[in-house]
Amino acid sequence: MLNVTTPPLSYFILGAFMNVGSLKFFYLLLTLILYILIIAANTFLIVVICVNRSLHEPMYMFLCSLFVNELYGSTGLFPLLMLQILSDVHTVSAPLCFLQIFCIHTYGSVEVSNLAIMSYDRYLAICCPLQQGSPISVHEGHGVPAGFRLVIFIVVIWLYSFVKFTITLCLTLRLTWCGKIINGLYCHNYLVVKLACSDTNLNNLFGLFGTVITVLVPLLPIFYSYMKILKVCFSGSREMRCKAVSTCAPHLASLLNFSFGCLFEILQSRFDTTSVPSALRIFLSLYFLIIQPLLNPIMYGTQMSKIRHVLCYKM
């Protein structure tokens, strides 16, 4: 009896693209403008934070990490998206597909981890403004330079996300696929695993574990920090409440926006949404990859008083 082996899959087909005809050049221009705006806004604020020593504080260093992540996630989406808009056959090579999966998923993990540590920093700024030697304070302590401690925190955020999803991707790469049509606008690990005809129990188990860790671990410092901040607000003066609102408003808006975007993406990829209009499905699937990178630099650039002061002073 002959052994029949399935040849390795060389490409996937992105099946959620609509036939827009001559409008594809309009959509290409719109996508290109969005990408340029995201690159310009995030790069500008990275440069502002890096060249101004007055902004070399934990909050702004974490913001710098956040803006770098926006550039990283957007680059994982937009170039391939623009190529697909121009193309009449929406195929993507398997290596490029897996590279996009890695970029987009690690972007999401870095984003939520960064927002979690920023929430704890907001708690320290409001509730413990005079606390010395805290792990992410700018004060010297514990025999380790403050700047070095900040770098360690940022490196851990990125390294944790990269290592965790590298394991997930390795489990995906070992699969055998019987289908090649991904029901999405970009490569998504869950949708690719659904195409496999080999055993995916280990993938599902580790995927569930990874999702719980990715969501639960950041939620703990977020809830803890904002519970403490609310307690201080209710028991403090009006001045304290105003300070808390002005300090936390951009972070809360970013956190809620990203949470809604992730929720839209989960609903889009895991449930039947054929009854939803195509344009709305496309918008919801791309929401957290477009709106978050575009909204963050605008919010933080206009709402953070120290950044506004630096920008006004330089101009």
Chain mean pLDDT for the chain: 83
Interstrand relation of 91-93 and 11-14 (parallel, antiparallel or unpaired): antiparallel
Q: Find out whether 252 and 223 touch, Cβ atoms under 8 Å.
A: no
Q: Find out whether 221 and 120 touch, Cβ atoms under 8 Å.
A: yes
Q: Find out whether 74 and 293 touch, Cβ atoms under 8 Å.
A: yes
Q: Could you tell me the domains of the chain?
A: 11-314 (1.20.1070.10)
- Whether the predicted pLDDT of 88 surpasses 90: no
- Whether the predicted pLDDT of 1 surpasses 50: no
How many angstroms separate the CA atoms of 176 and 8, rounded?
Answer: 8
- Whether the predicted pLDDT of 82 surpasses 50: yes
Position 300 scores a pLDDT of 85
pLDDT per residue as tens digits for the range 248-282: 888 888 988 998 888 888 777 777 777 777 778 88
Higher local confidence (pLDDT), 13 or 9: 13
- Cα dist. 36→43, 150, 304 in Å? 10, 30, 23
Higher local confidence (pLDDT), 304 or 221: 221
Q: How large is the greatest C-alpha to C-alpha distance in the chain, in angstroms? A: 82
Which H or E run contains 214? Answer: helix 201-235
- Whether the predicted pLDDT of 3 surpasses 80: no
- Whether the predicted pLDDT of 138 surpasses 60: no
How many angstroms separate the CA atoms of 302 and 294, rounded?
Answer: 13
How many angstroms separate the CA atoms of 177 and 93, rounded?
Answer: 14
Higher local confidence (pLDDT), 56 or 96: 96
Tokens of 223: 């809830």
Q: What are phi and psi of 41, to 5 degrees?
A: -65, -45
Q: Find out whether 183 and 78 touch, Cβ atoms under 8 Å.
A: no
Considering only 109-118, 180-189, 286-295, 300-309, which range has the smallest mean pLDDT? 300-309
- 21: left (phi > 0), else alpha (psi -120 to 50), else beta? left
Q: Which of 101, 105, 98 is nearest to 8 (CA)?
A: 98
Q: For 220-251, b where at least 16 C-beta lie within 10 A, e where not — what string?
A: ebbeebbebbeebbeeeeeeeeebbeebbebb
pLDDT per residue as tens digits for the range 191-246: 899 999 888 899 888 888 888 888 888 888 888 888 888 887 777 777 777 777 77
- Whether the predicted pLDDT of 67 surpasses 90: yes
Interstrand relation of 181-182 and 91-93 (parallel, antiparallel or unpaired): unpaired
The residue-averaged pLDDT of 146-162 equals 84
CB neighbours of 292 closer than 8 A, spacing ≥ 6?
70, 73, 111, 254, 257, 258, 261
Higher local confidence (pLDDT), 306 or 164: 164
